[in-house]
Amino acid sequence: MKFAILGAGALGSILGGHLIRAGNDVAMLARGRRAADLRDNGIRVQGLSDLTVPCQVVTDPAALQEADVLIVTVNTYQTEDAIHPLKHLRVGSVFSVANGVLKNRQLGAVFGDDKVLGSIAMVSGELLGDGAVNFTVNQLLEIGALPSGPSAVGSTIAEHLNDAVINTAVSETIQTDEWSKYVNWSGMMALSVLTRLATYKFLADPKAARVAAKVMRETAALAAALEIPLSDRPPVACDAIGGGSEDDAVAVLQKLGRAFEKNAPQHRVSALQDVERGQHLEIHETLGHTIAEAGRLGVPVPTIETCYGLIGAVDRWIDN
């Protein structure tokens, strides 16, 4: 398959590097200093994998005419501007590994809803100062037909990704899985930015974990109002977060924190990495979108509103 990867940050580089090493045809859409570094040094990954591979770098989107699969890895606030120059692209399938639940609508507006697959990525890393990527989590990447059902093309893509040693599965309930991840991500993102701590540290703190639990439970309530069922299975199980008591949710998050401390003590949510690099945050298209939908449906989300106000202040000072 011919892959195109839009965005050459941590996750884009991890996916691209592994696909190239497995023998796939991959075009990396990048620009500026990142494009120059990839041309000069190739994709360099350390941590869970150790690889250095040369790659095809495309800086002019007009130069790319077709791809079997387009994987979008840019942040949500960059998505619309990033995909617009690719509206000419003849593409078989497209999916975004960005956070949130707005991304599929954005992709469908450019490439057509019939080309869009749903996706969640519990695969992560960090782009280091020297241009290498530290690969920290390879838990699961899921893709599937929207809103649900089998996907033959998804199965083919998953085979290629698994051959490239990216743990991938095809979901027949991808809308549920996307929302289930979003429930968890919303709390994790908020606390990572507000505390500036490694993931296991804020999850280990009972008071911080309680704030994360409140954000997650409010997001789960919005999903219920939208009549979107949530997953009751790992790795994004939401039953213990939204179905039990708040104390139960805190206990689950603290257990998760202990797992991070043991298995990935250096893990930091991508939003915290963005803050430290002076980049804008995925706030308006995620928590802001939640608040707008909750207001429309009459779902109270006071903790999310508080976090949105505080994180919004952080975001507004990024350029100052």
pLDDT at position 114 over 70: yes
Q: How many CA atoms lie within 13 A of 128 on its CB side?
A: 12
The topology (CATH level 3) of 176-316 is: N-(1-d-carboxylethyl)-l-norvaline Dehydrogenase; domain 2 (1.10.1040)
pLDDT tens track for 236-245: 678 888 888 9
Backbone φ and ψ of 91, nearest 5°: -130, 140
Per DSSP, the chain holds a count of helices (H) and strands (E) of 12, 10
**pLDDT at residue 170 in the model:** 97
> Is residue 171 classed as helix, strand or coil in its secondary structure?
coil
Interacting residues of 33 by C-beta distance below 8 A, sequence separation 6+: none
CA distance 265 to 261: 4
Interacting residues of 207 by C-beta distance below 8 A, sequence separation 6+: none
Pairing of strands 117-127, 90-96: unpaired
Count CB-CB contacts under 10 A for residue 174: 25
Closest CA to 95 of 187, 220, 186, 7: 7
Give every strand in the sheet of 66-72, ordered side by side. Answer: 56-58, 25-29, 2-6, 66-72, 90-96
Map out the domains of the chain as residue ranges: 2-172, 176-316
Buried b (16+ CB within 10 A) or exposed e, 27-52: bbbbeeebbebbeeebbbbebebebe
Q: Supply the mean pLDDT for the chain.
A: 94
The percentage of residues in the chain with a pLDDT greater than 90, rounded to a whole number, is 86
pLDDT tens track for 1-20: 999 999 999 999 999 999 99
Please give the structure tokens belonging to residue 25. 């045809």
**pLDDT at residue 235 in the model:** 64
Q: How does DSSP classify residue 116? A: B
Please give the structure tokens belonging to residue 118. 């749903």
Average pLDDT over residues 23-34: 97
pLDDT tens track for 259-309: 999 988 988 888 898 898 888 898 999 999 999 999 999 999 999 999 999
Count CB-CB contacts under 10 A for residue 13: 28
CATH superfamily for domain 2-172: NAD(P)-binding Rossmann-like Domain (3.40.50.720)
pLDDT tens track for 195-233: 999 999 999 999 999 999 999 999 999 999 999 999 887
**pLDDT at residue 236 in the model:** 67
What's the pLDDT band for 86 if we cut at 50, 70, 90? very high
CA distance 237 to 130: 36
**pLDDT at residue 237 in the model:** 75
> Is residue 84 classed as helix, strand or coil in its secondary structure?
helix
Count CB-CB contacts under 10 A for residue 278: 8
Please give the structure tokens belonging to residue 180. 């289930």
